């Protein structure tokens, strides 16, 4: 599995657009591509899904959350480890771990856990490694050649 991560503190530099088009390019070349949308704005998810699909995905009345927050929920609530990774089919060889507008609430969990790792607290290690493990779980489920973050 090859992993490409796109990061820049500055917004509007084309990260999301580039990642979207690379996903389709790699897929057109015959690769199996997993896309993980870990940006709290979830613009990448919005590019891949229709408006109706987004409404269903982020429906506050639907207890069956299918975004990255579904995997993080047990950690955020302090109830254990990540839940199974929701992977949504976009095309025959593209899958998406959908982003969520509430992902920004997880930043404080990461910040607190980072300091607790120095004290070797196991829950802190589960928290700081959670996004990586969500990616691994999704990539294994789909047998991805490429993961784009």
- Whose tokens are 């998810």? That residue is 45
Sequence spans of domains, the chain: 2-148
Measured CA to CA, the distance from residue 147 to residue 95 in angstroms comes to: 10
Neighbours of 134 (CB within 10 A): 23
The helix, strand and coil proportions of the chain, stated in percent and rounded to the nearest 5, come to 50, 10, 40
Cβ(136)–Cβ(81) under 8 Å?
no
pLDDT of residue 63: 58
Measured CA to CA, the distance from residue 122 to residue 98 in angstroms comes to: 27
Write out the chain's pLDDT in tens, 149 residues: 899 999 888 888 889 999 999 999 999 999 999 999 999 999 999 999 999 999 989 887 775 678 999 999 999 988 889 999 999 999 999 999 999 999 998 988 988 999 899 898 888 999 999 999 999 999 999 999 999 99
- pTM value > 0.85: yes
CATH of range 2-148; options 3.40.50.300, 3.90.1150.10, 3.30.390.30, 3.80.10.10: 3.40.50.300
């Amino acid at each position: 599995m090859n992993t490409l991560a796109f990061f820049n503190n500055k917004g509007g530099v084309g990260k999301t657009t580039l990642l979207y088009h690379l996903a389709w390019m790699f897929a057109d070349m015959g690769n199996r591509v997993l896309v993980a949308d870990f940006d709290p704005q979830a613009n990448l998810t919005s590019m891949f899904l229709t408006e109706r699909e987004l409404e269903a995905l982020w429906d506050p009345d639907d207890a069956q959350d299918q975004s990255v927050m579904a995997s993080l929920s047990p950690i955020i609530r302090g109830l254990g480890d990540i839940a199974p990774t929701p992977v949504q089919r976009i095309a025959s060889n593209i899958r998406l771990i959908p982003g969520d507008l509430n992902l920004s609430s997880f930043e404080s969990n990461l910040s607190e856990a980072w300091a607790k790792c120095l004290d070797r607290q196991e829950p802190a290690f589960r928290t700081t490694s959670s996004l990586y493990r969500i990616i691994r779980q999704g990539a294994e489920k789909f047998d991805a050649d490429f993961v784009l973050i």
